[in-house]
A and B are shown apart, each in its own frame.
Chain A
Amino acid sequence: MRIEARHKNDIVIFDLEGEIKRSDITDVTLHQLVKEQLDSGKRKIILNFDAVEFIDSFGVGEILASYISTHNLGGKLKLVRISKKLFLIFQVTMLTKVLDIYEEEETALKSFF
């Protein structure tokens, strides 16, 4: 898994790529990266899944951990371009009720304002 961070104004956009799964844990996890941004004072975060090929329950756990950390600090975490599969899983688990999910990055960016 590769994660690149971009900044648009005070919004941090994480471009995720490859597979996010338990068997492929890298030195730095998504949650750690989000926490680093939160520690640096950022409170608006977008996770872009456009290039994600696969995500398992471990990956979902990383998203949820990131969500809690952001939420606890009064920040907002939004998800964009998630796969159909992931969306379906979020529906069954009712996470669509909690997570902010957008089809396009632009819409997500606008939603912060």
Chain B
Amino acid sequence: MAKNRLRSALSRVVDLKPGEGVIAVFLFLYFFFITSPYYIIKSLRNASYLSGLGDEKLPLAYFLTAILMGFIVTFHSRLMVRLPRSRLIIFSLAFFFSNIIIFCWLFERGWKWVPVVFWVWANIFAIVLVTQFWILVNDVFNPREAKRMIGFIGSGAQLGAILGGMLAGVLAKKAAWLLLPLAAVMLGLGIMVVSGIFRWRRHKTEEIDREARGKVAGSTKVGFRDAFETTRQSPYLLLLAGIMMVTLVVSTLIDWQFNSIVSFEVKGENNLTSFFGYFNAGTMFFAFLFQLLLTSPIIKTFRIRGALLFYPLILFLGTGGIGLAALTGIVLLVPAILIKASDKSLAYSLNQSVRELLYIPISPEQKYKSKIFIDMFLNRFAKGLGAVILAVLLWLVPRAPGPQGGQGAIRYISLIVLIIIAVWAFLNFRIGREYANLVKAKLHKQYERGDLLVDQRLDVDFTKLVFDTVESKNRSSVLYSMNLFDLIRQDKLTPEVRKLISYRTDEIRAASLGGMFEQTETGLGPKTEDELSEDVLKKEVQEIMNLDVYQDVMKEYLEKTLADKSAGAEVARMEAAKAIGFMDSRAPLVGKLEDLLEDGSPEVSRYAIQSAAALKRRVDVPVLVHKLKSPALREDAIDALRKFGPRIAGTMSDYLADRGEDTELRKTAAAILASIGTQESADYLSWELTGAGDALVDEVIDALDRIRTADSRVRFPGETIRLMISKETRLFYQNLVDLHSEVQPLEESVSRRREKRLSDSLWNIFKLLGLIYPQEDMIKAYQNLKVGTKNSIAYSLELLDNILERDIRDLVFPVVEDLPLEEKVKRCRYLLAGFRAGKDSDG
């Protein structure tokens, strides 16, 4: 009950599923209680350093942090190998808790070096605890879950930062001594929350720990080198590392600009602490609002690729502004606050979320190792690099004396920052593209489509001809010879086929082509040395049959044969039907084919259909179409019509569009247009798509899908396809709602039909998507959604989320989203109501 209330309350701000409410709140609090003390510490860190050592010594602090962080990373990664996740995190929190108590005592002593140590320690505090937090999030949630909750969980950090900053701002001037003890208390609360997380999820946590240990145990040693090698070997991770480097170098330079300006404008340690406290709180308040209101919409609307460009773009504009302000000599504090606030708020909201999302397509092991390298080592190294760049720049452009003395350096540094941001934007653009590719690579086809496999791998014509050849062996040596010749003519008389055909060698073989190719004696005529090459045979037969004199000689025979409709003359008519297929389509005797097509014997008719296919005379098309209605000859007629190719696309489209025609015939016309597979046939099918009606829609969509599979160059009308996707999704919604209607339960037979329709609609939707988006991706997504694992379903959704346009995505996601059935039906009902309302208002 209480859980339901919690979920209900949370569902207003975050997209939660049953069972996720408690862990979401725990993680929110965990993040809150590590960021709130950090923001107190951070304000103290900056103020103590600037008042004690001055802004000119800042590069030293950056550099020392970078150096020490290398050791910390190595030590931390070893601890991660040895300790279960729960113990490591609680140990780390307790360690930092005790450190705060020690610093309370050290600051009391007033030693000069304390601010330097405190600076470095504060950075270690932040990086270790935040990295541990995200590793736990990655352990607990799969990509889709993380993506849904990242906004909510991340906002815990912003709230913590606001509180920490505000406390620093308020207390610095009145009771500065209270700040560090307060931070210790907050961290203590964090320890309690983390203990709660591991207790509540004990069973799950054990799994996580086992899994994490298992992953690590798989590699003999996960240290810095391993983490570095993992990153180095993956171009994607290298890009990620590059972006992190560039981001932090920019951030370091901006940080120096900001601190430099503030140290000139604000005097006194407590004033500085207070200023930084308020500033951090304000920045984080803005970041919180941004995270809560804008991060998800930006990621949803612009997807990762677009969202990645936001942060550098804002900083580019801000840096340009500060450079301009420095150039014109106006007061720098306001632009400095603005750019620093933008940097910090975007870093902790949009950039943090997007960066975590970029880890989604990495394997758990890679993610684990590279996170250690990138988030912990590289993070500090980049700051160190920033410090070196800064030191070099400050050496090149020495500061002039006086309050405005730093403006020259600031102008110069702004220019450098602009150049680095351009590189950063380029890297972000590259990684956005790589991200989509990596998500695609994560998905594998679950199975090959049987129908397409048969089409691709089985040469139906060839198989039929081999069967005909074998079958004719016992009926007529002439027919047998003709079938063998047909195999030769089509270059299909392979050694294997010869072996197959000659399997029963004791039967009619006298004077047959089979005999000749099997190198046996015929007994007819003398032994001959004249080897008959297949090419010569083809040429000779063709030439003979085209002779006028041949046509004259055979005319009488054929007339007599065709006139004899007795069963005994059936084979002769079959021979005639076969022979005509070898003639030139303009030969006079070819006219006899019309009679043979209409022959009462299906076997004669079948041979005639094959010949019609070989001759491809338009005059035979209506008869072949008529044969589609004959169950015995339908398949042969389909094959024959397919062989006509693009020439009959128009005719087939007429049959397809003819509402008065037999439905089965219209379906066959769609299948034939599919096998023709040209742009023209795709156009005809597309025109028919919206008006196809229930009886025909599956076949038309399937035909379009087959064309797309066969030739990716064929284009389909986007508007029509989108309209059909909309229709099919609505049909899906309707069927789902009807199937699970509590008001009017369906009869069992109706229910089964609806379930079938539901399944067909889903397949249709993906076939249609495959017409306007990469088909291979759509097939992968469909198959993994149907039969994939929880993670592969998540990757499928991620892939669709990245590829589909917003309007299509909004239509399709209620169909495919991994939701409880009850929730899914509810959404579909709501969407249907929306459609109806839209329709009514249109009307």
- Taking Cβ atoms with an 8 Å cutoff, the residues of A that contact B are 50, 53-54, 56-57, 60-61, 64-65, 67-68, 81-85, 87-89, 91-98, 103
Q: Which residues of B contact A57 (CB under 8 A)?
A: 539-540, 543-544, 547
| Closest-CB distance, B281 to chain A (whole angstroms) | 96
Assuming A92-B482, A94-B478, A103-B524, is B532 touching A68 (CB within 8 A)?
no
Q: Which residues of A contact B4 (CB under 8 A)?
A: none
Chain B at the A interface: SS class: helix
- The residue among A87, A93, A97 with the most chain B CB atoms within 10 A of its own CB is A93
Residue in B closest to A80 when the chains form the complex, CB atoms: B525
| Closest-CB distance, B74 to chain A (whole angstroms) | 83
Q: What CA separation (Å) do A61 and B540 show in the bound complex?
A: 11
Contact A88 B554 (CB under 8 A): no
Contact B541 A92 (CB under 8 A): yes
Q: Please, what's the 1-or-0 string for B514-537, where 1 marks a CB less than 8 Å from any CB in chain A?
A: 001000001111101010100001
Q: Which residues of A contact B280 (CB under 8 A)?
A: none
Contact A84 B516 (CB under 8 A): yes
Contacts A88-B537, A96-B478 known; list 7 others, CB within 8 Å: A57-B540, A57-B543, A84-B530, A85-B528, A88-B512, A93-B545, A97-B572
8 smallest A-B Cβ distances: which pairs? A57-B543, A91-B481, A64-B549, A92-B485, A84-B528, A83-B528, A57-B544, A94-B579
| Closest-CB distance, A82 to chain B (whole angstroms) | 6
Q: What CA separation (Å) do A89 and B572 show in the bound complex?
A: 17
Assuming A57-B544, A60-B544, is B554 touching A94 (CB within 8 A)?
yes
Report if B552 contacts A (CB, 8 A).
yes
B467-519 interface (Cβ within 8 A of A): 477-478, 481-482, 485, 511-513, 516
| Closest-CB distance, A17 to chain B (whole angstroms) | 14
Q: What CA separation (Å) do A57 and B485 show in the bound complex?
A: 17
Residue in B closest to A62 when the chains form the complex, CB atoms: B549
Report if B582 contacts A (CB, 8 A).
yes
Residue in A closest to B480 when the chains form the complex, CB atoms: A91
Contact A61 B525 (CB under 8 A): no
Residue in B closest to A104 when the chains form the complex, CB atoms: B525
Q: Which residues of A contact B516 (CB under 8 A)?
A: 84-85, 88
Question: Which one of A53, A61, A83 lies within 8 Å of B549 (CB-CB)?
Answer: A61
Q: Which residues of B contact A61 (CB under 8 A)?
A: 544, 547, 549-550
Q: Which residues of B contact A87 (CB under 8 A)?
A: 511, 522, 524-525
Residue in B closest to A31 when the chains form the complex, CB atoms: B549
| Closest-CB distance, B617 to chain A (whole angstroms) | 20
Contact B530 A98 (CB under 8 A): no
Contact A83 B530 (CB under 8 A): yes
Contact A91 B524 (CB under 8 A): no
- The residue among A54, A68, A88, A103 with the most chain B CB atoms within 10 A of its own CB is A88
Assuming A56-B540, A98-B553, is B513 touching A91 (CB within 8 A)?
yes
Residue in B closest to A96 when the chains form the complex, CB atoms: B478
Q: What CA separation (Å) do A85 and B531 show in the bound complex?
A: 8
Q: Which residues of A contact B553 (CB under 8 A)?
A: 64, 67-68, 95, 98
* A-B contacts, 15 listed (Cβ < 8 Å): A54-B530, A56-B540, A57-B539, A61-B544, A68-B553, A88-B481, A89-B544, A91-B478, A92-B481, A93-B541, A93-B544, A93-B550, A94-B482, A95-B553, A96-B478
Contact B525 A53 (CB under 8 A): no
Contact A97 B557 (CB under 8 A): yes
Q: What CA separation (Å) do A87 and B541 show in the bound complex?
A: 12
Q: What CA separation (Å) do A83 and B526 show in the bound complex?
A: 7
Report if B765 contacts A (CB, 8 A).
no
Contact B512 A91 (CB under 8 A): yes
Q: What CA separation (Å) do A103 and B526 show in the bound complex?
A: 9
Q: What CA separation (Å) do A57 and B530 show in the bound complex?
A: 15
| Closest-CB distance, B774 to chain A (whole angstroms) | 49
Q: Which residues of A contact B572 (CB under 8 A)?
A: 97
Contact A92 B511 (CB under 8 A): no
Assuming A91-B477, A94-B576, is B547 touching A64 (CB within 8 A)?
yes
| Closest-CB distance, A79 to chain B (whole angstroms) | 10
Contact A92 B550 (CB under 8 A): no
Contact B540 A89 (CB under 8 A): yes
| Closest-CB distance, A94 to chain B (whole angstroms) | 5
Contact A85 B544 (CB under 8 A): no
Contact A84 B545 (CB under 8 A): no
Q: Which residues of B contact A92 (CB under 8 A)?
A: 481-482, 485, 513, 537, 541, 582
